[in-house]
Amino acid sequence: MNGLIKAEFRKIFTTHLWWALLIPVVVLSFLAGWGGTEFGQMSIIRQMTGGQDLPTGLLTMSLSTNYVTVFAALLGALAMTGEYRHKTATTTFLTANPRGAVLGAKLIAYTNIALIYGIANTLFASLGGLLGAGSDGFGEFAQWLMVGGAGILSIVLWTLLGLGFGAMVTSSVVAVLVLLGYVLVFESLVSSAMSSSAMSWLGDYLPGAASNGIVSNLSVPMFVSDVAGAREPMVSETAYRLLHSVFGGSYGFPWWGSLLVFAGYAAVFVAGGWLTSSKRDIT
Amino acid sequence: MHDGSGRILVQGLNKSFGPINAVQNLNFSVEPGSVTGFLGPNGSGKTTTLRMILGLISPTAGGAFINGQPFSRLPNPATVVGAVLDSQGFHPGQTARTHLRCYTAALNLPDQQADQVLELVGLSSAATRKTGGFSLGMRQRLALATALIGNPQILILDEPANGLDPEGIAWLRGFLKSFASTGRTALVSSHLLREMEHTVDNVVIVSRGQCVYNGDLDQLRAAQQSRVLVRTADPATLVEALRQSGLTAEYLPDGSLAVPGTDSKTVADLALGAGVAVHGMQEENLDLEQIFFQLTTGQYSGGAPQGPPQPPQGAAQWGPGGPQQPPQPGAPPPGTPPSPGVGQGYQQVYPQQDQNNQGGNGGYGGNA
């Protein structure tokens, strides 16, 4: 098994994909961190808040996390489909018994790559934030650590979900198109269709909403508490809902609830990939 | 992992893809210490069979065993069996060396093994080149190097000669012979017998997913014999006359008759005796390629005579012209299970043929 994991690391680091997908992660994180904190210091905001800067550092960190998870999902989706695409799946399965061992080795190796992505996101979003607003806006160190850690978890889980999904569909084109279509278009259509119906509560349990909630259900309450201070209990629900509609998550939903829901999705796809790839005919 | 066996056994193997029966009740074995050719036309189920042996495709029924075990039970399988199934299995951005080092890592082998197999297949000079720029022949060699990386006891190659130039084929021939001479097993598929004729010791010939010959190539060669092609106005009467003299005949697509195991003089005398006008007669000596062709044709034509004249009633008793029947499940065709091996003689399997037709000619049957 150790050998198979080593083999997966070699496959990753001798090809370009891992750093090619890391570039947009780093760039988006940095820009979101920078732009978001600059926004919190614009004069129009100062006028509204009576001269106070908004501590948007944690908020924009969660925003950047929810942007870059799609690249983590693509990384995972291409892990297994790449083997089918380049027809290396045959040789790979000939060197491992049972086939599940290959998937297991990939899960471990790609979890490590996803950690790199997650750490890069946290660091570059923070760097952008520092450039935009200095060390203000990140709350307490523990809060920064929590939001950053939640972002890393979200990115790792998206990678694993993508990996399981890719192992199920085997076609890299299908995997990429379906993932992008779902994340960027389909889920927002579904949740807006549901929002006016009795099913609206279900929207929080969709994969995208759940993954956004992992970080945003932490960062939004932290932001409100930073801004409002002692007046926090008086902040209206509308303010929370407005912030959640921009930064993800939902009012009153705990971040660990989102984490459990999304981890469930990731587990389902990993199990599906496991089952289908152990039975499939490799032709 | 060289436990001295290295035997491949295929027993009652069946695979259907939906309505298509790719492999039907296939039985054969491959013995160590020899190069076995796995021959059959395109679409005869060779690749499917090889992938079933390697556990990549699960059979609908039956099984394939390597050293007595199904592939899925082999620990560290690449050290027991190495395979080249297609020569496309490389990431184009990897170099030959980094590609191979993925597999040395997977097998817990020292990395120098990668350079050793590159040396073995003559690709050392291309070790640091990206595989995306490799020619087909280089890909074949790299695929072979990948198969050899675990120093396996059994080597399975699917159409390895594709893309190799004549020099490459000669090199592969020498390589396979020396591989087998160390007591190891090589199973090599091809759709051209001629390509394999000087490489293999034994052959397994499949047609339409069924085994039609399994045994020593020399025995098959010894079975070469001549046959007489007759063009006549009244084939039915001539066939009857031939049958009374103990000869068989078969219809060829062009309407003439082929009479194996005799000479033109005998046929001419019989035709005269029966009062049948003969329009033309020709003696034909079959070489190995033609035997192979005869064993495997009919794959797509359905085996029935296509041109006039149609066989007379009762044709099924003496000729091959009846519709090709798949073998009944549970009723193995005559001659199975085959158990070949040098010196054991050969066994033939004629699942679709009439007993009469098998009786006399021994070497080739009537699917022409």
| CATH of residue B316 | 3.30.70.100
- Chain mean position to CA A82: 21
Element (H, E) at A44: helix A43-49
Number of H helices, E strands in chain B: 12, 14
* Tens-place pLDDT, residues B289-299: 777 777 777 54
Q: Is residue A282 part of a domain?
A: no
Nearest to A10 among B74, B90, B98 (CB): B98
Inter-chain contact A10–B102, Cβ cutoff 8 Å? yes
- ipTM for the whole predicted complex goes beyond 0.85: yes
Burial degree of B243 (CB within 10 A; 0-12, 13-18, 19+): middle
Residues B45 and B148 in one domain: yes
Residues B116 and B175 in one domain: yes
* Tens-place pLDDT, residues B129-187: 999 999 988 999 999 999 999 999 999 999 888 878 888 888 899 999 999 999 999 99
For residue B145, give the chain A residue with the closest CA.
A91
Nearest to B89 among A4, A86, A279 (CB): A86
How many domains would you assign to chain B? 2
Q: Which residues of B touch A281 (CB under 8 A)?
A: 51, 56-58
How many domains would you assign to chain A? 1
Q: Is residue A226 part of a domain?
A: yes
* Tens-place pLDDT, residues B13-70: 999 998 888 999 999 999 999 999 999 888 888 999 999 999 999 999 999 999 999 9
Looking at residue B78, which CATH number applies to its domain?
3.40.50.300
Please indicate if any CB of chain A lies within 8 Å of the CB of B83.
yes
Please indicate if any CB of chain B lies within 8 Å of the CB of A86.
yes
User: Of the candidates B195, B221, B247, which is a domain's last residue?
Assistant: B221
Q: And the tokens for A237?
A: 């629900």
A203 phi, psi to nearest 5 deg:
-55, -35
Unique residue bearing structure tokens 């000079």? B125
Are residues B82 and B92 in contact, defined by beta-carbon separation less than 8 angstroms? no
- Quickly state the pLDDT bin for A168 (edges 50, 70, 90): very high
Nearest to B98 among A14, A93, A95 (CB): A14
CB pairs under 8 A between A and B: 90
* Tens-place pLDDT, residues A171-200: 999 999 999 999 999 998 988 888 888 878
Q: Which residues of A touch B88 (CB under 8 A)?
A: 86-87
Inter-chain contact B108–A7, Cβ cutoff 8 Å? no
Q: Is residue B144 part of a domain?
A: yes
Domain carrying residue B212: 8-221
Residue A265 has pLDDT above 90, yes or no: yes
